Every structure is written in structure tokens, then in C-alpha cells.
């Protein structure tokens, strides 16, 4: 049985926990270098999904694509059609907080957004997308055990990569740590499905400072973020 137009895996092909980078090549890199006996379970539209084992725990990894519409589709289908319980987004982010530098780790306990995604839930007010406390607590603990110093707080999920708003300094004033493009939709889908979600990001660029990493580094060099997610999977 193939339950969705976007995922060709069979029921049971995914583990209860799925790691979701945005980039399909990063998903492939994780499966090849961190999972044992990894098997390709989805490749519709080149969105690679694998299931294997990490320290005897069954874990899946699949790309989400870029942006909230893409994350919204894949996380919804994993939660509601494939009985996935936990989705951990592992992606790149742009630093907003001055204290962050390239390759630093950010754990997003909340996700501000400029998206209208929440309107699809017909809520009579404004929803505040937040991470699973249990997953966030485990991530902080894993960081300590791995000798990693994360920053934990609010992130900003933007619907746009290029725009004329120049809004990052405004979010900086509100204590927001970093900008990315998927977490808010993931957190909303998790809430609606009664499931768990967390976003762990690596700083790939500092737009207010003009620093950035190249695309090759973004695909393969974010090992701290990958280890954290795998430890709590």
C-alpha cells in the first residue's frame, strides 16, 4: 500500500523517530555515515528517506525540502499516515543573536513566524508554535554529554529567503536567536497530530555580520547537530 502521493514507503518502513534535514544530500550523508544497515525507503521526487540503526535503535532520516509548505506536507504525512511519533529537524540557520558564530548549535524551543500557515487550523487567535519539552530536555542533556554548548531559545521561521523587509534586526530586539524556514510548520503539525517535534540547527551564516559557509559544508560538516539528534532519537 502506498498511502501518499509524496512518499512511496510502506507502512512500517519508518521508525518512530525521523530526523529531517532540509537537504536530500544531507539525509543521504547521515544514512551512509551514521546509520547501520540503512535502507532507502523513499525517493519520490528525489526526497531521500532511509531507515537504519544507531546504537541498536531504529531510526529514520528523510529530507523535508525547503520552506514551510514542503515541511508541512512531509511532516503531516509522517505523523498521520506512517505513525511517526517524533520528528527532529536538523538544519542550517542564520544567526540573529550577536553571540552566535558560524557552526554554533541552536535549539529552538519556540518558533516565531511571518507565515500564514496557522490559518489552516481555523484558530480564533494566534498560535504559539513550541517544541516538545521532552525532546528539548533530552537535546540539552545530550549536548552536555557531548561537550557542546548550545544556545536555547526562540527562532524565527521565515516564509521568504529573499525580501525587502530588513526585519532581522527587529527580531533581534525581541531576543530571537536565529532564522530558518521550517520549524514553525513542523511544530504546528506536531501539535495538531498530538506528536513531538524539535528543531536543532547549526549556524551556517551570520547575515547581520556578513559571514557564511559554502553549500558543501552545509551538506556534510554539521556533525554536532547530527550527533545530538541521533543521541535523543
**Alpha-carbon gap, residue 170 to 221, rounded angstroms:** 30
In a domain, 2, yes or no: no
**Alpha-carbon gap, residue 190 to 75, rounded angstroms:** 8
**Residues pairing with 90 in the sheet:** 200
In a domain, 1, yes or no: no
User: What band does 132 get if pLDDT is binned at 50, 70 and 90?
Assistant: very high
Instruction: Return the CATH number at 217.
Output: 3.40.50.1580
In a domain, 111, yes or no: yes
Does an H or E element contain 36, and which? strand 36-42
- If you average pLDDT over every residue of the chain, what do you get? 93
Please tell me the total count of domains within the chain. Answer: 1
Q: Residues 23, 61: contact at Cβ < 8 Å?
A: no
pLDDT for 27 beyond 90: yes
pLDDT, tens digit, for every residue of 66-91?
999 999 999 999 999 999 999 999 99
Active site members:
205
Query: What's the pLDDT at 73?
Result: 97
Angle at alpha carbon of residue 189, lines to 188 and 193, rounded to 5°: 120
Query: What's the pLDDT at 148?
Result: 96
Q: Residues 128, 134: contact at Cβ < 8 Å?
A: no
Query: What's the pLDDT at 229?
Result: 97
The grid cell for 40 is 532507502
Residue range(s) defining the domain that contains residue 165: 17-232
Query: What's the pLDDT at 218?
Result: 60
In a domain, 35, yes or no: yes
In a domain, 84, yes or no: yes
Amino acid at each position: 500500500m502506498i498511502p501518499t502521493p509524496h512518499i512511496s514507503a510502506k507502512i512500517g518502513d519508518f521508525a518512530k523517530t525521523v530526523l529531517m534535514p532540509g537537504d536530500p544530500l544531507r539525509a543521504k550523508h547521515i544514512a551512509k555515515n551514521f546509520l547501520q544497515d540503512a535502507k532507502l525507503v523513499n525517493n519520490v521526487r528525489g526526497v531521500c528517506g532511509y531507515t537504519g540503526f544507531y546504537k541498536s535503535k531504529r531510526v529514520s532520516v528523510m529530507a523535508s525540502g525547503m520552506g514551510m509548505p514542503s515541511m508541512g506536507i512531509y511532516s503531516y504525512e509522517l505523523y498521520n499516515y506512517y505513525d511517526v511519533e517524533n520528528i527532529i529537524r536538523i538544519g542550517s540557520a542564520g544567526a540573529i543573536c550577536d553571540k552566535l558564530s558560524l557552526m554554533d548549535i541552536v535549539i529552538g524551543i519556540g518558533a516565531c513566524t511571518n507565515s500564514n500557515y496557522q490559518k489552516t487550523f481555523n484558530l480564533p487567535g494566534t498560535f504559539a508554535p513550541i517544541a516538545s519539552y521532552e525532546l528539548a530536555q533530552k537535546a540539552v542533556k545530550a549536548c552536555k554529554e557531548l561537550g557542546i554548548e548550545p544556545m536555547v531559545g526562540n527562532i524565527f521561521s521565515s516564509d521568504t529567503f529573499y525580501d525587502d523587509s530588513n526585519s532581522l534586526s527587529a527580531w533581534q530586539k525581541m531576543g530571537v536567536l536565529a532564522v530558518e524556514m521550517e520549524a514553525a510548520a513542523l511544530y504546528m503539525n506536531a501539535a495538531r497530530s498530538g506528536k513531538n517535534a524539535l528543531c536543532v540547527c547549526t549556524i551556517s551564516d551570520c547575515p547581520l555580520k556578513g559571514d557564511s559557509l559554502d553549500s558543501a559544508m552545509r551538506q556534510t560538516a554539521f556533525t554536532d547537530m547530527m550527533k545530538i539528534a541521533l543521541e535523543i532519537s
